[in-house]
Chain A
């Protein structure tokens, strides 16, 4: 009897402790999760690098011999590489390599693009075009003065999107001497920014490569700080970036300028990629370019060990976000138009609502893991 009371008290105490003081994971519990996450990040960056290199090959073929077919090939490889890159955005917003002081994010992914800025750089014949000069000119004197990255390349491949129901329709002759002014410099510009993008993707892949003295090593041994970074990254992308900057802003302005991949009309795929990237990190699951499946211990298990219902809810919410994102009908710049009852706007609203629910649950998940401060993580 006495023994049973003691047991009961111990049980109550354990219960009270779990309620009052969320248990931070032990190093033993945490280490495999961080290691698997790092492997997943590296695999995603490595696959994106592979696709960026394919993009570079098609761009090189196009600038050597511009043709409608070569341009179509370059556009196709841009779309494939871009879709993979979107998955990596789940690794942003916590001071990791992509966003660090030397990180390439502004050079890789700045948007919206003021097209006239790139046109002016190409037209200014005395302006040297090199990786170094274009890097220095990127976002100089204004955040929309974008000279480099995915969306600069996108503009160079598609041109302005002036059609209602399709993407930009730049003719390949923009790259043919005698057919368009400064075709030679446009070719050089496109080749240069594409090469720069490959460099930056390679740098990211290296920062997460295994068995090096790099960021990954610090991340894997970073314990609670790394875990916090992982969650803050997923939460920030869900709420502030995807629901906020990418969707709510576009709904509010109804302006094509607020569409991320506006030249190629592929913004809907950016949104799906972001949602899928978040889900990948949560589940610890990633299907590689070659079909190989990565699976292992992930954030979900850590949360489930403390609050199984919360973990299940998050799993469902992330699936709902992804499903809602996949329901957006391209082109995105048409989807945001109309009154509040327009079907396109309602489809986007459903994505926002799903993301907000998922963000609120991520905050709960962080609390359950003993993490209180959630707005940012400084570099480790």
Chain B
């Protein structure tokens, strides 16, 4: 009798877990798919917060214009830029693909700046600007060629990966520094960022400690980076190398670097001493985006909600979940956390705190092998390390953006290719996937796409 009761209770607990597991963002989770899957506000915002979200959204999608202009609220674009609006790269708050504005190229030379970050390339600065306002030369164009890499699964099935090579053309100020380091970066989907920001630093450090205790190849490391808004070093969690700690820094840096919009945090545009036309161009006031407007955009980015999982009860998806565990994927793609407080309460929402979330990341850097390496260090990250990206919403990118290009430069065409690019610390996991049957691989993909 007691046994029966215990079993029944366990069953009930399992049922509850299954329901929670459907909601990657806890109470913030929204039920949505299709084009707007990444565009909804956290489900538990107050009425006032919904207004902030709407205002932030307006500035997120807004095209900025070159100063001087008839509009004071949104002038100051450039002189150099990659996109006119946030949504120019994060189309529908989603992910960019190669060939779009949302694949940008970071530039640096060996060494570190005053805060321990990368040293900008002396003539072109921290990233290649592929657009400019009239009268200012565009820095250059990014060209990509692809080389096919062939392989086979244990069952004999062949696969082909595309390995991109990057080259610059039409450079405005002569060739790059001979030691220049190139870092291609794709704009990712923006769901759940405020929740990731609210994960306690202690949880991230615990991930590193737990992995170190394993004694196998997996050994993640937290990045420690300069955070301009707080004026201190913090654990990095955003960007492909976890080179940014907070959404406020990320957003202000993107305004400055990607659109040429200065702010109190980043008062300089990315003109180098060699770029005279850039330096001489008119600006849209100092700063070009005011603190209060920037705050609403940060709030918007923080409160975009993760959508409900799909097909949680499906047998193939559940089989995929077991395979995901068995192949040790979950060691780095850690499923669950309970969020703590956001670093800047006024730039986030209390609705994001204390949520049971399932992002599937450890927020740590891992050596992913030579094939993925870009050779470009960023704070503590070396040229072979990448941050484990979250997996929530992956199955919805197709509906939002019409593609499923994954990894830091969008080279992978779908989940399976992204898995096959895993090497370095993840080599043993990849070997397990190579040994899987076709049905098992399919189940694994179904699971990841259900998240």
Name A residues whose Cβ lies closer than 8 Å to a Cβ of B: 95, 99-101, 106, 112, 114, 116-117, 139, 141-145, 162, 239-240, 244-245, 248-249, 252-253, 255-258, 356, 373, 375-379
Contacts and interface: CB of A to CB of B under 8 A. Distances in A.
A249 B91 CA distance: 20
B34 A142 contact: no
B55 A252 contact: yes
Given A257-B62, A376-B40, A240 B54 contact: yes
Nearest to A106: B35
30 contacts: A95-B33, A101-B35, A114-B84, A117-B63, A142-B61, A142-B91, A143-B91, A143-B92, A144-B85, A145-B63, A162-B70, A240-B54, A244-B50, A245-B54, A245-B58, A248-B54, A249-B55, A252-B296, A253-B55, A253-B73, A255-B74, A257-B73, A258-B58, A373-B31, A375-B31, A375-B40, A375-B43, A376-B31, A376-B40, A378-B33
Nearest to A239: B50
A379 B34 contact: yes
B323 interface: no
Contact of B61 (A143, A239, A253, A379): A143
A100 B35 CA distance: 8
Contacts, number: 96
A375 B32 contact: yes
Contacts of B397: none
Contacts of B85: 142-144
Given A116-B65, A257-B62, A142 B55 contact: no
Contacts of A248: 51, 54-55
Interface in B68-92: 70-71, 73-74, 83-85, 87-88, 91-92
Interface residues of B, number: 37
A79 B101 CA distance: 36
B30 A376 contact: yes
Nearest 10 A/B pairs, CB to CB: A244-B54, A143-B61, A376-B32, A142-B88, A144-B63, A143-B87, A114-B63, A249-B58, A248-B51, A142-B85
A378 B83 contact: no
A240 B31 CA distance: 15
B369 interface: no
Contacts of A144: 61-63, 84-85, 87
Contacts of A249: 54-55, 57-58
B291 to A, nearest CB: 15
A125 B341 CA distance: 54
Contact of B57 (A116, A245, A375): A245
A104 to B, nearest CB: 12
B146 interface: no
Nearest to B53: A244
Contacts of A240: 41, 50, 54
Contacts of B61: 142-144
B36 interface: yes
Given A95-B34, A379-B33, 7 more contacts: A101-B34, A139-B91, A143-B87, A144-B85, A249-B55, A356-B47, A376-B36
Contacts of B34: 95, 99-101, 378-379
B399 interface: yes
B100 interface: yes
B8 to A, nearest CB: 24
A130 to B, nearest CB: 21
B443 to A, nearest CB: 23
Given A144-B62, A253-B58, A378 B32 contact: yes
A258 B58 CA distance: 8
B41 to A, nearest CB: 8
A360 B376 CA distance: 52
B104 to A, nearest CB: 13
A249 B62 CA distance: 12
A239 B45 CA distance: 13
